[in-house]
Amino acid sequence: MNDSEKAKECLGRIVDLFKAGNIPKALAVATIPSQPGIPSAKWSISNRVLQFIADTSDAREFRQWQKAGRKVSKGSKAFCILGPNTKAINETDDNGKEVKKVIVIGFHAIPVFRAEDTDGEPLPYEPATPPPLVDVAEQFGLSVSYQTFASKYYGYYQGGSKRIVLASHEPKVFFHELAHAAHERIEGKLKGGQVPSQEIIAELTAATLAQMYCPEANLGFSYDYVKSYAEKSKKTIERACLAVINTVGLVLDEILNKQLVKEDVA
Ligand SMILES: [Zn+2]
């Protein structure tokens, strides 16, 4: 495929997004100011939409990764963003004076790689130390990665692709997603979207783990979160919690037993 064919393919992807009605979400995400200091923070909106389609928040050219002390993993596929082809022309201005002007005459494709497909020096938006219980996620067969944003959430769990993506360094955010994963191991596939009972189970589990592993954490957010979901299911916060408390116990067991198994071995 030559350069202009590649560029056309990139444009085609943006058009497909429009057709599928997904452009508002892509644009909303693309316009969130991302981490300063990463190259894509300076990209055009259309290139950031392409980055969003590629399911990453940090894509860079091969040599830019090298400069950042990271290696692109073997077999990783690049995706393309668009760079302008410019040409300097001479134009006559209103006063009859000749001036030089740079115009865009087309686009070329620039191959870039996703942060998720690289290894090496820590990324600026990764925490210095991983959250407690990160090894339980590993034992569940899940990858844990950080992005500069994760859609409109602080994090999410994707059972199908076996991963947890976090846009917060707060351990409780990780615990919440880990709880969804443990819940799914017990009950089988969870329903998509924000189902009140599932959210209350995840957040109560996360709040409990936060008490155990980082007692200094502020749990005010948990209360408001659970309350909002209790209201959605037309229950008082007490009733909503009581209805799921047994499941929360099972989810905690699923997570903490994995931790114990590991400590026994160590
Ligand atoms: Zn959740």
Domain boundaries, the chain: 3-120, 134-265
Residue 264 tokens read as 């026994």
Ligand 1 geometric centre to CA of 60 (Å): 30
Closest CA to 241 of 254, 218, 225, 257: 225
Ligand 1 geometric centre to CA of 124 (Å): 25
Ligand 1 geometric centre to CA of 156 (Å): 7
Measured between alpha carbons, how far is 250 from 184 in angstroms, rounded to an integer? 11
Ligand 1 geometric centre to CA of 180 (Å): 7
Provide the pLDDT for residue 126. 85
Encode pLDDT of 18-48 as tens digits.
666 666 666 665 655 566 678 998 898 889 8
Evaluate if pTM is beyond 0.85.
Answer: no
State the maximum Cα–Cα separation within the chain, in Å, rounded to a whole number: 85
> Would you state the torsion angle of the CA atoms of residues 53, 56, 61, 67, taken in this order, to the nearest 10 degrees?
170
Provide the pLDDT for residue 266. 46
CB 164 within 8 Å of CB 144? yes
Ligand 1 geometric centre to CA of 41 (Å): 28
What mean pLDDT, rounded, does the chain reach?
85
Ligand 1 geometric centre to CA of 205 (Å): 11
Encode pLDDT of 196-209 as tens digits.
999 999 998 998 89
Encode pLDDT of 42-88 as tens digits.
898 889 889 888 888 899 999 999 999 999 999 999 999 999 999 99
Ligand 1 geometric centre to CA of 22 (Å): 22
Provide the pLDDT for residue 138. 95
Closest CA to 226 of 196, 246, 257, 254: 196
Encode pLDDT of 133-179 as tens digits.
999 999 999 999 888 765 557 889 999 989 999 988 889 899 999 99
Q: Which residue has the tokens 């155990």?
A: 212
Per-residue pLDDT at 92 exceeds 60: yes
Q: How far is CA 164 from CA 161, 170, 208, 220, in A?
A: 9, 14, 19, 24
The single-letter code of the amino acid at 174 is F
Per-residue pLDDT at 2 exceeds 50: yes
Q: How far is CA 18 from CA 8, 54, 149, in A?
A: 15, 16, 22
Measured between alpha carbons, how far is 80 from 82 in angstroms, rounded to an integer? 7
Closest CA to 146 of 159, 136, 135, 129: 129
Q: Which residue has the tokens 């600026």?
A: 124
Ligand 1 geometric centre to CA of 111 (Å): 34
Ligand 1 geometric centre to CA of 176 (Å): 6
Ligand 1 geometric centre to CA of 244 (Å): 15
Mean pLDDT computed over 96-118: 92
Per-residue pLDDT at 4 exceeds 70: no
Task: State phi, psi for 172 to the nearest 5 degrees.
Answer: -65, -30
Ligand 1 geometric centre to CA of 178 (Å): 9
